Amino acid sequence: MSLVLDSATQDLLFREARTANSFTDEPVTEEQVQAIYELVKYGPTAFNATPLRITLVRSPEARERLVQHMAAGNQAKTATAPLVAILSADNEFHEELPELLPHFPQAKDAFFAERPVREQSALLNAALQAAYFIVGVRAAGLAAGPMTGADFAGIQKEFLDADHTPLMVVNIGKPGEDAWFDRSPRLAFDQVVTTV
């Protein structure tokens, strides 16, 4: 194959990696989460913007509040996962751009003065970062269970503010017994790729 990554790493990150639906009770440490972020923060985004915000739900009280906003099929696994993260897009991410783009300080005003433009950019780039985050969780030897089945208006009101748009909830930990559903099929190369 033409890939630089060895086969075992390819399996870890993609081929054998699955969305986990159950977890062991082994805790996920702050150090692990920090290591994941320190790796994935280098994933490319427009203007190197970093609109992704991560809210770690650790306390039992916060977990109970979150579970109430999850779809019925997601409640039990969210209640028992070692760690749960709410991933959201910061619609005011442009405030950090002068610091992040010292060679292009006008980006803040030139491109993101209008809130609809900021929100669209925040959603797209935070979604990219969320995907990097999931791969980073896998790189740490953990399993991720990303979910969009939730009352996101309720999650925003309960945990965020009007400037943060929730994207997904991710359960994180070591996979437990019967953690995986059967692998769903994927489209073939020729169904996806067009050359012009």
pLDDT band at 103 (very low <50, low <70, confident <90, very high): low
Would the pLDDT of 49 be above 80?
Answer: yes
CB neighbours (10 Å) of residue 118? 22
Q: What are phi and psi of 108, to 5 degrees?
A: -55, -50
% of the chain at pLDDT higher than 90: 77
Instruction: Identify which of 69, 8, 35, 22 has the alpha carbon closest to the alpha carbon of residue 140.
Output: 35
Are residues 185 and 101 in contact, defined by beta-carbon separation less than 8 angstroms? no
Distance CA 148, CA 1 (A): 34
The pLDDT value given to residue 127 = 98
Task: Read off the pLDDT of residues 130-185 as tens digits, 9 standing for 90 and up.
Answer: 999 999 999 999 999 999 999 999 999 999 999 999 999 999 999 988 888 888 89
- Cut 0.75: pTM above it: yes
Environment class of 7 (CB within 10 Å of its CB; exposed 0-12, middle 13-18, buried 19+): exposed
The rounded mean pLDDT for the chain is 92
The pLDDT value given to residue 126 = 98
